[in-house]
Amino acid sequence: RWGRHWLDLARYADTAGENSDYPIPQAHLYRDYVIDAFNADKPYDEFIRQQIAGDIIAERGPPEEYAEQVIATGFIAQAKRFGTGDLEDMHLIIEDTLDTMGKVVLGLGFRCARCHDHKYDPTTTEDYYGLYGFFQSTAYPYPGGESVREQRYFVSTIHPSILAEADSDYFAKHKADIDRLNQLIKVNKDVDTSKAELAEIESQSPSRLAPVAYAVKEGKATDAHVQHGGNPHRKGEVVKRRLPQFLRADSQPEIPGEGSGRLQLAQWLTESTNPLTARVMINRIWQFHFGKPIVPTPSNFGLQGAPPTHPKLLDWLAKEFIESGWSVKAMHRLIMSSETYQLSACLLYT
Does the model's pTM come out above 0.85? yes
- The pLDDT score that the predictor gives to residue 216 is 98
Cα separation values, 289 from 27, 38, 170, 253, 333, Å: 28, 15, 54, 37, 11
Mean confidence (pLDDT) of the chain: 93
What average pLDDT does range 243-256 have in this prediction? 84
| Residue 106 and residue 187 in contact, taking contact as beta carbons nearer than 8 Å | no
Structure confidence by residue, pLDDT tens digits, 122-179: 899 999 999 999 999 999 999 988 888 888 999 999 999 999 999 999 999 999 999 9
Structure confidence by residue, pLDDT tens digits, 116-135: 998 888 899 999 999 999 99
- The pLDDT score that the predictor gives to residue 338 is 67
- The pLDDT score that the predictor gives to residue 341 is 67
In whole angstroms, give the CA distance from residue 24 to residue 111: 26
- The pLDDT score that the predictor gives to residue 262 is 98
| pLDDT score of 277 more than 90 | yes
How would residue 13 be classed by pLDDT, with cut points 50, 70 and 90? very high
- Residue by residue, DSSP assigns 242-311 as ---TTTS-S-PPPPPTTS-SHHHHHHHHT-TT-SSHHHHHHHHHHHHHHSS-SSSSTT--STTSPPPSSH
| Residue 151 and residue 86 in contact, taking contact as beta carbons nearer than 8 Å | no
- The pLDDT score that the predictor gives to residue 69 is 98
Cα separation values, 171 from 148, 160, 166, 207, Å: 30, 16, 9, 11
Amino acid at 262: R
| pLDDT score of 222 more than 70 | yes
What average pLDDT does range 293-300 have in this prediction? 96
What average pLDDT does range 305-333 have in this prediction? 96
Structure confidence by residue, pLDDT tens digits, 55-114: 999 999 999 999 999 999 999 999 988 888 888 899 999 999 999 999 999 999 999 999
| pLDDT score of 208 more than 80 | yes
- The pLDDT score that the predictor gives to residue 56 is 97
